[in-house]
Amino acid sequence: MLYGGFCSPGYPVSIRAKISQTLYKPYIENVPLFRGCSAEFIQQIVVRLQEEFFLPGEVILEQGSAVDQLYFVCHGVLEGVGIGEDGTEETVLRLEPNSSFGEIAIPCNIPQPYTVRVRELCRLLRLDKQNLSNILDIYFVDGRTILSNLTEGNESNLQIKQLESDITFHIVKQEAVLALRVNSAAFYGDLHHLKDLIRAGADPKKTDYDGKATWY
């Protein structure tokens, strides 16, 4: 693995942000995972990316491993490989520019469903799981959009399609958590926070874990 130096931590934050906007935003805007997400959300993603290069033959993620990074392909080709109990390998998908991987395991908190291996020299952008979680805590509507994109974008891949129930479960769970936030703000009379939640896309008619809506 080789590290890119275009956005060195030694640069001031404002300079790094401008460099990231110029170099990385065009790639992130075209990633199917983020289709329909807000410009503000994309901006937050872009300024937190790290750039890396990988050589042919390198394994980036192993099947069954815990995942704490989300990757986006800028240049090069990778393959997703399913490994059977007897050690046999089957290529389940091909990853090219504007593809992403790690996006299934991270939101669903499940092991990586397939091994990701480099076929051609790759330039990748990497986003830390904690950074993504922090962003989604604020841009929760974009989080719902991402989960919906996951179920729509992998219909041709059987192995990923089998995870649809897990993804759907997390969409429902996220809706309930958001409804709980709205109900809590309403209960404590925090009108400012309540307005912010609704303005950001929260539906006051949605019910929380107890089946209560904001206007209960």
Determine the structural domain holding residue 81 and report its residue range: 2-138
- Picking from 156, 106, 150, 155, the residue whose alpha carbon sits closest to that of residue 131 is 106
Residue 15 located in a structural domain:
yes
CATH code of residue 107: 2.60.120.10
| Cβ–Cβ < 8 Å for 67, 101 | no
pTM for the model stands at: 0.73
The DSSP secondary-structure symbol of 40 reads: H
Q: How far is CA 204 from CA 73, 146, 175, in A?
A: 38, 21, 11
pLDDT tens for the chain, residues 1 to 216: 655 555 555 556 666 667 777 789 999 999 999 999 999 999 999 999 999 999 999 999 999 998 999 999 999 999 999 999 898 999 999 999 999 999 877 766 778 889 999 999 999 999 998 898 888 877 878 888 887 888 775 544 544 555 556 656 666 776 777 778 888 888 788 888 777 777 666 667 666 555 555 554
Residue 114 located in a structural domain:
yes
Residue 46 located in a structural domain:
yes
Q: Per the structure, how many domains does the chain have?
A: 1
Residue 215 located in a structural domain:
no
